[in-house]
């Protein structure tokens, strides 16, 4: 019954499609080269907001060559994502494609269709979405519906574009899931998004956009939300699929390392305009534009063998030998943190305790920067919070050498005893937007710790103003609210807040991870400068190995709550001892397209390590 | 799931016991008892009240005994299916309730259906066409409905009904009031029903429209909606399959509250329109300190609230896998 009705609806739909496509067909002199799959010409996408019109994409021209991978690179706000979404006309409200053409030619001999001329909700464009052009988003958790199964959402694409009996569609979906490397696809078909890991979710999303074998796959920051090892797997998968399916790929990213790994051609965007475009080799080795050169200069330097050359262009590092001799400011001894999994007892699931930090010992020398690296969930943030005593460690010691020279155990103290040390150990947070109260002025935000310590009003005023200058802001900014600042400036405010109490140890938890590369470089410079001037010690928590490599004296690698390797940055990055460290390092993209594929991707399977698997 | 249900049912027992004690205490809270009210009424009518007679009544009704003894008797009776006797009507409480139950339920269910049938589509439309003329019209009417007190709307509509030549007040025209059920009587009932349904539904409708609209606006801009759009889904199907499904969650998690609401109806509106539903019965029982009648009604409402909450929890777990797997 449903079949007959949908058959009639389908005929009508096909007619609408044909009519729509015909109307948008372009012919004549300005037809693009048959080797070009998609040609963007003068594309302008605007966002009309209450504050005026923002030209997110400001009249760009770009060609996507058939069979190639074109990367669109840029920092946040460059319009790269808006460009990707414009192609399918799925720009977020209130975005609107205002001008330009998007000439699309499915096969070299197919007619040229102007995608911009199609009705956004019309049948013709719908017949292209998901079928000929697939889209993969950044965050698979939010890009997939939380209340529908993976299978349901994948089969839906088939139901829309290639309907078949239910069993057949299911079989095809399972087959595609297997193809993108999801183990036990039969079972995962009925899984919900939250039951899969981040990497599996992204694979499911890729399966969804590939099931109709599109001629163009648009991937919008598909690996940004993933760990570096997972990112490497997804990049390999995409390259493989592109090869076997003869697909064209448009890859949006802010990460030049990823570009070097995957791109054939590169389009560099800034402020909604194309700054430079060319082959990946040209962009990396003969960049013409000053902005491209600046972006490239933020990359860690490599030596020709693809090994890890440490320290070039970075700040002067404290010599390791002097560090080893100096007494540690903080000695973490056998620190243990267990979270009891008590949530959801009502539903009868026994909560297994989570061993977030598993007998970690680590020395932090005074005046040094110690990097703490690992994948998400490895316990690095938990360890940082134990040091701050935001978490109460289950056991172990935090031996802190106070300014007076006597050694105290922070782990054994109660709140009252901790109070003086709360000023000496401070934290800088990751998210410069979420970590500042929008209802407090900058003066209140920064001065709050002083107010808690009952410092007089005038003195607070003076010290806040001084601190603002220190972190590279202006004195008169103190009365503004956080929303008036950019991401980088906000992070400066966050640093000022941490430093206002004249701390000795600063825990920086992913302090630069949310920032654009150029801003990131400035913040790192600032942190180095402050370290020199104020004699600070940093515990630098990050998943970004290239940053850690550049600024840290010593590096500790964590895996499932355990410290697997610790040493100087040169030792750890140059000659990793533990298999996990090797796997982690092998997954970091090499930011040089000429070295692509010269280094095998290692995987770490802790099967022989029962305590790590637990 | 079974374990969850059993656990929840077990939790409900102490909850209900506690509620019954509180209910009983509250009914006894005002100074005096039913006999005080009776005395006052009789004196008003110029009758002489004989102290001995009152004392006899007090002993007979058990009002001379302590709180715990009275409560104990009440609960024991309750477990045997005996809700006690109404002082006011001198009839078993259960008979009084049963008499009014069908009409009350009819009014409650009709109101609920009308409310949802209007509010959900209006709220969804309002969100999809945000800042359109239709959105403003719906929002404007919604605020108006929200702002008008129920009883005032009841009076206004009663007047409109009167102008239309209808017999207003009550659920039946006088000629049908005491006749057995017939087609004519049903038609007459429907002719009367629309006023209370509209009046009671009005405020609720407006509230639901606002919440639906807000939920939908949150969901409509989520990335998964864009994903679905990029798959080539038609807008209509897309909206009903994804955002609406999630925007309904808050309603599902509070759906159980309708159960007690259906039972007691709108007390004030029912009073104004002189409806033969449970609300006015409860009101008069409370005023007259008719403790067994008031207590029974209040306790039934409490039981329905507890059961309703359980039902909505189960419903939510059924429709939202995140709840089922404890991820929400």
Give the ipTM of the model, two decimals please.
0.79
Q: What is the pTM of this model?
A: 0.81
Q: Poorest-confidence range of A336-350, A378-392, B144-158, B270-284?
A: A336-350
And the tokens for A28? Answer: 């004549």
CATH number belonging to the domain at A302-403+506-519+530-614, selected among 3.20.20.70, 3.50.50.60, 3.90.76.10, 3.40.50.300: 3.40.50.300
Closest C-alpha among A483, A445, A482 to residue A464: A445
At residue A302, the pLDDT reads 47
Q: Is B179 on the interface with A (CB under 8 A)?
A: no
- Is the CB of residue B313 less than 8 Å from the CB of residue B250? no
Average pLDDT of the residues of chain A:
86
DSSP secondary structure code for residue A308 in this structure: B
Q: What is the mean pLDDT of residues A262-288?
A: 93
**Cβ pairs bridging A and B (under 8 Å):** 93
Which of B229, B245, B326 is nearest residue A90 as measured by Cβ atoms?
B229
* φ, ψ at A541 (rounded to 5°): -95, 125
Residue range A426-448, pLDDT digits in tens: 999 888 888 888 889 999 999 99
Which of B232, B241, B322 is nearest residue A129 as measured by Cβ atoms?
B232
At residue A348, the pLDDT reads 43
Q: Is the pLDDT of residue A559 over 50?
A: yes
**What is the helix (H) or strand (E) element at residue A538, kind and residue range?**
strand A537-541
At residue A606, the pLDDT reads 66
Peptide bond into A32 cis (omega under 30): no
Per-position b or e across B50-76, b if 16+ CB within 10 A of its CB: eeeebeebeeebebeeeeeebbeebee
At residue B219, the pLDDT reads 92
At residue A347, the pLDDT reads 45
- Is the CB of residue A395 less than 8 Å from the CB of residue A334? yes
Confidence of residue A104 (pLDDT cuts 50, 70, 90): very high
Contacts of A146 in chain B (CB under 8 A): 224, 246, 321-322
At residue B327, the pLDDT reads 55
Q: Is the pLDDT of residue A460 over 60?
A: yes
Residue of A48, A89, A120, A146 to mutate when probing chain B, most B C-beta within 10 A: A146
Contacts of B322 in chain A (CB under 8 A): 146-147, 192, 194
Question: Within chain A, which residue ranges are assigned CATH 3.40.50.300?
Answer: 2-132+212-297, 302-403+506-519+530-614
Residue of B232, B243, B309, B314 to mutate when probing chain A, most A C-beta within 10 A: B232
Burial class (CB in 10 A: 0-12, 13-18, 19+), A55: middle
CA nearest A350 in B: which residue?
B326
CA nearest B247 in A: which residue?
A147
Q: How far is B8 from chain A (nearest CA, A)?
A: 9
Q: Is the pLDDT of residue A64 over 90?
A: yes
Interface touch A348/B320, C-beta < 8 Å: no
Could you say which residues of chain B have pLDDT below 50? 328
Closest C-alpha among A362, A359, A427 to residue A389: A427
Q: Is A321 on the interface with B (CB under 8 A)?
A: no
Which of B3, B232, B320 is nearest residue A147 as measured by Cβ atoms?
B320
Q: Is the pLDDT of residue A312 over 80?
A: no
**Of residues A71 and B73, which shows the higher confidence score?**
A71
Contacts of A160 in chain B (CB under 8 A): 231-233
**Fold for the domain defined by B93-283:** MetI-like fold (1.10.3720)
Q: What is the mean pLDDT of residues A101-113?
A: 90
Contacts of A192 in chain B (CB under 8 A): 321-322, 325
Confidence of residue A311 (pLDDT cuts 50, 70, 90): very low
And the tokens for A431? Answer: 């998210």
- Is the CB of residue B307 less than 8 Å from the CB of residue B256? yes
At residue A611, the pLDDT reads 46
CA nearest B224 in A: which residue?
A143
At residue A610, the pLDDT reads 45
Q: Is the pLDDT of residue A313 over 60?
A: no
At residue B75, the pLDDT reads 86
Separation of alpha carbons B112 and B134, rounded Å: 24
Q: Is A9 on the interface with B (CB under 8 A)?
A: no
Contacts of A135 in chain B (CB under 8 A): 227, 230
Contacts of A344 in chain B (CB under 8 A): 326
Q: Is the pLDDT of residue A387 over 90?
A: yes
DSSP secondary structure code for residue A113 in this structure: E
**Fold for the domain defined by A2-132+212-297:** Rossmann fold (3.40.50)
User: How far is residue A258 from each of residues A359, A379, B250, measured CA to CA in Å?
Assistant: 35, 26, 42
And the tokens for A508? Answer: 């920086």
């Amino acid at each position: 019954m449903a079949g007959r009705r949908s058959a009639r609806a389908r005929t009508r739909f096909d007619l609408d499609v044909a009519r729509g496509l015909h109307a948008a067909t372009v012919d004549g002199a300005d037809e693009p080269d048959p080797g070009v799959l998609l040609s963007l010409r003068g594309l302008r996408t605007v966002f009309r907001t209450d504050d005026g019109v923002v030209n997110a994409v400001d009249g760009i021209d770009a060609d996507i060559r058939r069979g190639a991978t074109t990367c669109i690179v840029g920092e946040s706000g460059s319009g790269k994502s808006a460009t990707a979404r414009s192609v399918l006309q799925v720009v977020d409200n209130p975005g609107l494609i205002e001008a330009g053409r998007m000439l699309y030619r499915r096969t070299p001999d197919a007619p040229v269709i102007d995608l911009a001329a199609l009705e956004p909700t019309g049948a013709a464009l719908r017949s292209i979405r998901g079928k000929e052009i697939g889209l993969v988003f950044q965050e698979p958790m939010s890009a997939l519906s939380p209340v529908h199964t993976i299978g349901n959402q994948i089969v839906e694409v088939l139901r829309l574009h290639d309907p078949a009996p239910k069993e057949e569609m299911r079989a095809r979906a399972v087959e595609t899931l297997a193809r993108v490397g999801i183990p036990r696809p039969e079972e995962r078909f009925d899984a919900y998004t939250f039951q899969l890991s981040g990497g599996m979710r992204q694979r499911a999303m890729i399966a969804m956009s590939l099931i109709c074998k599109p001629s163009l796959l648009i991937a919008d920051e598909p690996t940004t939300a993933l760990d570096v090892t997972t990112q490497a797997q997804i990049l390999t998968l995409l390259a493989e699929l592109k090869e076997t399916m003869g697909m064209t790929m448009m890859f949006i990213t802010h990460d030049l390392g990823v570009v070097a790994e995957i791109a054939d051609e590169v389009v560099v965007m800034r402020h909604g305009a194309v700054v430079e475009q060319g082959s990946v080799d040209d962009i990396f080795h003969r960049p013409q534009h000053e902005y491209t050169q600046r972006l490239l200069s933020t990359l860690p330097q490599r030596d020709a063998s693809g090994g890890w050359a440490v320290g070039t262009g970075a700040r002067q590092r404290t010599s390791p030998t002097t560090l080893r001799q100096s007494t540690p400011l903080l000695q973490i001894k056998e620190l243990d943190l267990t979270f009891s999994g008590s949530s959801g007892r009502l539903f009868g699931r026994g909560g297994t305790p989570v061993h977030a930090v598993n007998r970690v010992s680590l020395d932090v020398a005074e005046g040094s920067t110690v990097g703490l690296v690992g994948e998400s969930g490895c316990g690095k943030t938990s360890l940082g919070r134990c040091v701050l005593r935001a978490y109460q460690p289950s056991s172990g010691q935090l031996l802190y050498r106070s300014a007076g020279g006597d050694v105290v155990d922070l782990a054994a103290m109660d709140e009252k005893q901790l109070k003086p040390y709360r000023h000496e150990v401070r934290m800088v947070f990751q998210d410069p937007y979420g970590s500042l109260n929008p209802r407090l002025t900058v003066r209140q935000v920064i001065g709050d710790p002083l107010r808690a310590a009952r410092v007089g009003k005038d003195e607070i005023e003076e010290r806040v103003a001084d601190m603002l200058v220190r972190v590279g802001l202006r004195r008169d900014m103190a009365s503004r609210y956080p929303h008036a600042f950019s991401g980088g400036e906000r992070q400066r405010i966050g640093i000022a807040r941490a430093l206002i109490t004249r701390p000795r140890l600063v825990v920086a938890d992913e302090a630069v991870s949310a920032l654009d590369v150029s801003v990131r470089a400035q913040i790192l410079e600032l942190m180095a400068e402050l370290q020199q001037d104020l004699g600070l010690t940093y515990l630098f928590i990050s998943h970004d190995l290239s940053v850690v490599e550049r600024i840290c004296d010593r590096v500790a690698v964590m895996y499932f709550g355990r410290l697997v390797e610790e040493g100087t940055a040169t030792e750890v990055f140059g000659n990793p001892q533990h298999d996990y460290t090797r796997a982690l390092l092998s997954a970091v993209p090499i930011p040089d397209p000429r070295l692509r594929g010269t280094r095998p991707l290692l995987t770490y399977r802790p099967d022989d390590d029962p305590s790590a698997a637990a | 799931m079974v374990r969850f249900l059993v656990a929840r049912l077990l939790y409900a027992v102490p909850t209900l016991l506690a509620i019954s004690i509180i209910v009983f205490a509250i009914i006894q809270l005002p100074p005096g008892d039913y006999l005080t009210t009776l005395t006052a009424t009789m004196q008003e009518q110029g009758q002489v009240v004989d102290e001995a007679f009152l004392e006899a009544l007090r002993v007979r009704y058990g009002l001379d005994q302590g709180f715990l003894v009275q409560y104990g008797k009440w609960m024991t009776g309750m477990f045997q299916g005996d809700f006690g006797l109404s002082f006011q009507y001198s009839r078993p409480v259960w008979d009084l309730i049963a008499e009014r139950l069908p009409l009350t339920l009819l009014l409650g269910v009709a109101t609920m259906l009308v409310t949802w049938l209007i509010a959900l589509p209006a709220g969804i439309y309002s969100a999809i066409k945000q800042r359109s003329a239709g959105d403003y019209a719906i929002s404007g009417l919604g605020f108006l409905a929200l702002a008008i007190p129920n009883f005032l709307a009841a009076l206004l509509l009663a007047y409109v009904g009167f102008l239309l030549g209808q017999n207003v007040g009550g659920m039946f025209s006088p000629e049908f009031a005491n006749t057995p059920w017939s087609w004519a009587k049903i038609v007459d009932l429907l002719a009367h029903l629309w006023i209370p349904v509209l009046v009671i539904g009005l405020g609720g409708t407006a509230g639901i429209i606002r919440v639906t609209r807000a939920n939908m606006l949150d969901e409509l801009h989520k990335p998964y909606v864009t994903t679905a759009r990029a798959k080539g889904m038609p807008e209509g199907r897309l909206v009903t399959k994804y955002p609406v499904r999630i925007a309904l969650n808050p309603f599902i998690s509070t759906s159980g509250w309708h159960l007690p609401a259906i039972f007691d109806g709108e007390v004030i509106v029912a009073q104004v329109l002189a409806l033969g539903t449970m609300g006015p019965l409860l009101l008069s029982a409370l005023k007259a300190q008719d403790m067994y009648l008031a207590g029974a009604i209040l306790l039934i409402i409490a039981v329905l609230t507890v059961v309703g909450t359980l039902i909505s929890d189960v419903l939510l777990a059924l429709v939202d896998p995140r709840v089922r797997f404890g991820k929400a």
